[in-house]
Chains A and B, each alone.
Chain A
Amino acid sequence: MNSSAGIRHTLGAASVLMLVVLAACGDDDAAEDDAAESAGEAGGAEGSTVAIIAPFANPFQTDIRRGAEMVAEENGVEVIYLNYDADSEQEFSYVQDVINRDVDAVIYGANDAEVSLAGFRQIESAGIPIVCFDTCVVEEEQENLTEAFVTSDNTQLGTMAGDGAADWVNENVDGTAQLAFVTCNTQSVCRVRWDAQVEALDAADYEVVADQVAVESDRVLTTTEGILQANPDLDLIVTNGLPQTEGGVAAINRLNRDVVLFGMDMTSRIAQDLLEPDGPLQAAVGQDGPAIGQTMMELAIQVLEGEEPEQFLYEIPGTLYTRDDPDAVREFLETTSEE
């Protein structure tokens, strides 16, 4: 009993000490923040604070962040990076936080074109300029609420993946191909890609035997395993996001099935899958995250310096990587920012 109380007191004292140290660190941060704010008010972009409200954490968003932070550092801009993990409640909480923090500009990736409208309106009402990225609000409100919109050309990404799959069907399948979609269609950006994929696939003769939404790669794994079990004659799987591509490849490999996959997004892991001899992954469309990050931060700085962006919509093209062109895949591996 006594030793238990002793441990409790020791740990309690350690916790209090830790809180004091953290509070002291917080004060330092606050002092630095104040300095940055006053620099921002002095004019120009240097010393300004830009908040990035990102929809979730994944390698593509990390690439965007790195691109943005590189430009910010070059221009002496402080960045506050927030990720709401596709949670609208957390998203609106961050909106309040950046308004209270009185940042100079916000770079905002919407969770959903409709749902996120309220957050954009609040920031705009507070007089803070917004550059949106990845996903923006509904089209009719975009130019009223924001200064510019930087995104991948998601229609182009979907078309590239769909074209690749259609060509494969036409070259390798006699008759009607059996196709399964494993998608992230709860997100508006995924639905745009999917629409384009379906349109491009019109060039092939196929039948959809399964169409499932699964978001995290472990859920994709179990869902795809189920699809593979239910459809012994399945020819190909088409995905429209990174976890769907990774989980799909893992499921095909585990069940050792003769099924191919056309995927989306590019990481070193996906590149390895493309280089794997006889692997199921045929092609993946890569988004240019660093270029999106650089462009959106450059636009935010332009706005802070009082300049008008030259155009409203900046669509950054993607690149199709296939197993037929391993040199391009190897080049990606050499240049990727992943550590």
Chain B
Amino acid sequence: MQVDERLKAASETSVARTVPRRYAVSAALNLARPGRADQLGLGLALVFLVAVYAQIAPNFWTLSNLTTVLQQSVYVGVIAVGMTLVIIAGEIDVSVGSAAAFAGVVVALLLDSGLAWPLALAATILLGATIGAFAGVIRAVFLIPSFIVTLSLFSALRGMALLLTDAIPQAPTELRNSFFTFVGSGKIVELPVSVILLVALFAVFWFISTSTRFGTHVYAVGGNVNAARLAGIRVTRVRVTLFALTGGLAAVSGIVLAAVLGAGDPNVTQGLEFEVIAAVIVGGTSLYGGRGTMAGTMLGVLFIAVLGNGLVLLGIDPFANFVVRGLVVLVAVLVMSSTIRDRIRDRVRRLQHREQGAQRLSSTEEET
């Protein structure tokens, strides 16, 4: 509450007035959060897609397949909850796909070296978070755009994964022990463990984004970094924490995938970063920062998973998947675009004015 007041005051300062006022006010009052109309629209689109697939895709509407869709959304979803905050803060992380492959390889190698699985697990997630934090430090301290920093990691981490393994998937027998089998394929009351993990992470990140000071700071930094800084928010700390989170989450995603495959494969998750970003954008998060919700992201993750699953069930070439996903993202960005929204709003207003004018004219004519 105190921060919100300071943000409001900051948006009135001369520095804040140098950036468009609507952004500063938006950051200060956190107006950008709701996006309920976007979520409703996406929710309806998802329901429509499910209804269509239930009619035309063989065995789509079966418990087994719907469970599979949820399982397939885990790799993207786990990272997407962190990526949502990163994008809301006006940043981007394109290294998550490589980071996931790297983590899968690291956990396999650690297990192969004889390290106990809880230690291997913790060390891999910690390493992922540390690498993410390193990217955050470079971004925040040297003020290098996050796209450039994470693009470097995108290449370096994939290379490291290949270098460590000689491109050979690492399949230690420990990766098939009861814990990893439980994570990869286990179920609790018919619900896959990996899906429960995703739901738990979603709940945690939903809480972070809506009910914590850190969540407010993330929106503020993404809405207007100058106003946020003037309000006393430690922008550097926020940025480093965000990249540490996506690094750690990418490691979790990589470990889950390695558990499913029974191997740490350095060649997997190519293009995962774009699937994650697509899910977040489709979910209504603005690439310009300051705007987005966890609920929207989860709908986006589900929408993209359902879209892909149905295409496979229909026997359509998986390459068509890429085309469809690309088009869906484009449409989503167009719908979210403030320019297009403003134009639609203007057109509606003009039509309303014209209608009102016509009504006034006809009533005057009637009177005369």
Residues of chain A contacted by B319 (CB below 8 angstroms): 213
- For the complex, count residues of B whose C-beta is within 8 A of A: 46
**B312–A227 touching, CB < 8 Å:** yes
Say how far A317's CB is from chain B's closest CB, in angstroms. 22
Which positions 223-281 of chain A face chain B at CB distance < 8 Å? 223, 225-227, 229-232, 243, 246-247, 250, 253-255, 267-269, 272
**B266–A57 touching, CB < 8 Å:** yes
| A269-B315 in contact given A11-B141, A59-B169, A229-B65 (Cβ < 8 Å) | no
Indicate if B68 sits at the interface (CB-CB under 8 A).
yes
Which positions 7-48 of chain A face chain B at CB distance < 8 Å? 7-8, 11-12
| A226-B261 in contact given A8-B142, A218-B269, A268-B171 (Cβ < 8 Å) | no
* Interface stretch of the complex, out of B119-127, B160-168, B210-218, B283-291: B160-168
Indicate if B205 sits at the interface (CB-CB under 8 A).
no
| One of B141, B263, B308, B315 near A8 (C-beta < 8 A) | B141
**B265–A230 touching, CB < 8 Å:** no
* Interface stretch of the complex, out of B56-64, B293-301, B359-367: B56-64
| A217-B317 in contact given A57-B167, A250-B262, A272-B171 (Cβ < 8 Å) | no
**B312–A58 touching, CB < 8 Å:** no
B contact patch SS: helix
Indicate if B13 sits at the interface (CB-CB under 8 A).
no
Indicate if A214 sits at the interface (CB-CB under 8 A).
yes
**B167–A226 touching, CB < 8 Å:** no
| One of B58, B72, B168 near A62 (C-beta < 8 A) | B168
**B168–A229 touching, CB < 8 Å:** no
Indicate if A4 sits at the interface (CB-CB under 8 A).
yes
Say how far A330's CB is from chain B's closest CB, in angstroms. 15
Indicate if A210 sits at the interface (CB-CB under 8 A).
yes
Interface residues in chain B, defined as those with a beta carbon under 8 Å from any beta carbon in chain A? 57-60, 62, 64-65, 68, 71-72, 75, 137-138, 141-142, 162, 166-169, 171, 173, 184-185, 236, 257, 260-263, 265-270, 272, 308-309, 312-315, 317-319
Distance, CA A25 to CA B263, complexed state (A): 35
**B141–A250 touching, CB < 8 Å:** no
Interface residues in chain A, defined as those with a beta carbon under 8 Å from any beta carbon in chain B? 4, 7-8, 11-12, 57-59, 61-62, 210-214, 216-219, 221-223, 225-227, 229-232, 243, 246-247, 250, 253-255, 267-269, 272, 338-339
Residues of chain B contacted by A11 (CB below 8 angstroms): 137-138, 141-142
Name, among B75, B312, B313, the residue most crowded by chain A CB atoms within 10 Å (CB to CB).
B312
**A59–B263 touching, CB < 8 Å:** no
**A246–B169 touching, CB < 8 Å:** yes
**A254–B315 touching, CB < 8 Å:** no
| A218-B59 in contact given A62-B167, A225-B68, A229-B65 (Cβ < 8 Å) | no
Residues of chain A contacted by B60 (CB below 8 angstroms): 229
Distance, CA A8 to CA B315, complexed state (A): 54
**A243–B267 touching, CB < 8 Å:** yes
Say how far A34's CB is from chain B's closest CB, in angstroms. 26
Distance, CA A333 to CA B46, complexed state (A): 48
Residues of chain A contacted by B315 (CB below 8 angstroms): 210-212, 230
Distance, CA A213 to CA B137, complexed state (A): 41
A contact patch SS: helix
**B313–A267 touching, CB < 8 Å:** no
| A226-B169 in contact given A4-B236, A246-B261, A246-B263 (Cβ < 8 Å) | no
Residues of chain A contacted by B62 (CB below 8 angstroms): 229
**B267–A57 touching, CB < 8 Å:** yes
Distance, CA A243 to CA B265, complexed state (A): 9
Distance, CA A213 to CA B315, complexed state (A): 11
Residues of chain B contacted by A243 (CB below 8 angstroms): 265, 267
**B142–A229 touching, CB < 8 Å:** no
Distance, CA A253 to CA B173, complexed state (A): 16
**A269–B68 touching, CB < 8 Å:** no
Residues of chain B contacted by A254 (CB below 8 angstroms): 71, 184-185, 260
Residues of chain B contacted by A227 (CB below 8 angstroms): 312
| A212-B317 in contact given A59-B167, A217-B268, A225-B68 (Cβ < 8 Å) | yes
Distance, CA A210 to CA B138, complexed state (A): 48
Distance, CA A221 to CA B267, complexed state (A): 13
| One of B64, B262, B267 near A58 (C-beta < 8 A) | B267
Residues of chain B contacted by A7 (CB below 8 angstroms): 137, 141
**B171–A230 touching, CB < 8 Å:** no
**Closest A-chain residue to B72, C-beta based?**
A222
| A212-B267 in contact given A11-B142, A221-B260, A255-B68 (Cβ < 8 Å) | no
**B171–A269 touching, CB < 8 Å:** yes
Residues of chain A contacted by B270 (CB below 8 angstroms): 216
| A222-B162 in contact given A4-B236, A59-B168, A217-B169 (Cβ < 8 Å) | no
**B257–A218 touching, CB < 8 Å:** yes
Name, among A7, A230, A243, the residue most crowded by chain B CB atoms within 10 Å (CB to CB).
A230
Distance, CA A339 to CA B261, complexed state (A): 19
Distance, CA A44 to CA B21, complexed state (A): 75
Distance, CA A255 to CA B168, complexed state (A): 25
